[in-house]
């Protein structure tokens, strides 16, 4: 498979860009149901899988509002370019003072454009909120962050995803994963990319052992097909929930290196796992690494 992979404009830790071909290879060739994501995140997987119909959900309202604005043409590449040129110039002149001004404004007004600004100029592209629901990532300490080339790159990403959204039937919904799974039908495929248990604690509502068990129970009761992304092991330890919960399903593994992370210990190789009740099509498996990223 040699299909392009489109990068979404919103960044996050653990983004699944490099795993998209692997995940895409699981989707049946003639699948006509709805692709459902209870943990949409940046949308990197959903925007690169074949299904025409999709329901993308998340408990983080700011992710949903950004893509709703994009789908409604309230945000376009031209709007983003003009906004980043203006705010980027002020950031260059005022430095981190302007970053924290935008952060305060976002926490008060929740502008999708301010969310994009913070996401692309905050420390390490992280998305994190405190218990009051306020974005609290510090500045990346690069006043010249929004160079002309960087703005063009982000604007192109916005345009690529906008075009994908306009050619498909996609609903963006702010709701819990429990409600999303409950609404799915047996003809659908659910793709879950929850926070990795015992590894990431900066999900909008947190992620605990209870959450992992709840997700397992919901997917086990689901009558359709599902794919779950999680971690299998790294150089230091194994994911205990693979054996205690998920072992009755097909478990596919692939080594992957994460360059991002708030701590250096999190910036290392990890063996990813896809847990699924779908059959894996081996005929394309040798070529899934050869997809150009744009």
133, with CB counted inside 10 A (0-12, 13-18, 19+), is: middle
CB 40 within 8 A of CB 55: no
pLDDT, residue 269, reads 77
Record the pTM: 0.90
pLDDT, residue 39, reads 96
The CATH-assigned architecture of domain 80-151 is Orthogonal Bundle (1.10)
Angle at 268 between CA 64 and CA 254, to 5 degrees: 75
pLDDT, residue 73, reads 97
pLDDT, residue 241, reads 92
pLDDT, residue 204, reads 61
Q: What is the pLDDT of residues 194-233, one digit of tens each?
A: 987 765 555 566 788 999 999 999 999 999 999 999 989 8
pLDDT, residue 284, reads 43
45, with CB counted inside 10 A (0-12, 13-18, 19+), is: buried
Alpha carbon of 267 to those of 71, 73, 76, 109, 126: distances in Å? Answer: 33, 36, 33, 33, 13
pLDDT, residue 267, reads 54
Instruction: Provide CATH 3.40.50.150 ranges for the chain.
Output: 17-59+175-287
Q: Which CATH superfamily is domain 17-59+175-287 in?
A: Vaccinia Virus protein VP39 (3.40.50.150)
Residue 135 token pair: 């974005």
Q: What is the pLDDT of residues 148-202, one digit of tens each?
A: 999 999 999 999 999 999 999 999 999 999 999 999 999 999 999 998 776 555 5
Dist. CA 243–CA 185, nearest whole Å: 28
pLDDT, residue 148, reads 97
Mention every residue, 6+ apart, whose C-beta is less than 8 A from residue 224: 33, 184, 185, 186, 187, 188, 189, 190
CB 283 within 8 A of CB 234: no
Dist. CA 76–CA 233, nearest whole Å: 40
Establish how many alpha carbons lie within 13 A of residue 72's alpha carbon, considering only the half-sphere containing its beta carbon: 10
Q: With a cut of 70, which residues of the chain have pLDDT below it?
A: 1-2, 198-205, 256-268, 281-291
Instruction: Provide CATH 1.10.1020.10 ranges for the chain.
Output: 80-151
Dist. CA 226–CA 228, nearest whole Å: 7
């Amino acid at each position: 498979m040699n299909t392009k992979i489109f990068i979404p404009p919103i960044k996050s830790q653990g983004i699944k860009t490099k795993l998209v071909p692997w995940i895409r290879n699981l989707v049946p060739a003639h699948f006509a149901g709805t692709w459902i994501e209870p943990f949409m995140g940046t949308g990197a997987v959903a925007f690169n899988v074949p299904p025409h119909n999709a329901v993308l959900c998340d408990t983080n309202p700011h992710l949903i509002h950004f893509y709703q604005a994009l789908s409604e043409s309230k945000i376009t590449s031209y709007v983003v370019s003009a906004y980043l040129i203006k705010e980027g110039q002020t950031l260059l002149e005022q430095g981190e003072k302007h970053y924290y001004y935008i952060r305060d404004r976002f926490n008060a007004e929740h502008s999708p454009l301010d969310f994009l600004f913070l996401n692309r100029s905050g420390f390490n592209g992280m998305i994190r909120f405190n218990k009051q629901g306020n974005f609290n990532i510090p500045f990346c300490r690069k006043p010249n962050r929004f160079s002309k080339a960087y703005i063009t790159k982000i604007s192109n990403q916005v345009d690529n995803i906008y075009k994908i959204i306009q050619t498909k039937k996609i609903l963006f919904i702010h709701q819990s994963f429990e409600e999303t799974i409950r609404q799915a039908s047996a003809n659908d495929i659910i793709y879950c990319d929850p926070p990795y248990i015992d590894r990431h604690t900066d999900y909008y509502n947190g992620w605990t052992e209870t959450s992992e068990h709840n997700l397992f129970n919901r997917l086990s009761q689901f009558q359709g097909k599902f794919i779950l992304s999680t971690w299998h092991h790294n150089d230091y330890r194994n994911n205990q929930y693979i054996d205690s919960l998920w072992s009755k399903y097909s478990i596919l593994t692939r080594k992957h290196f994460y360059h991002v992370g708030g701590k250096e210990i999190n910036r290392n190789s990890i063996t990813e796992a896809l847990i699924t009740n779908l059959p894996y099509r081996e005929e394309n498996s040798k070529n899934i690494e050869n997809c150009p990223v744009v």
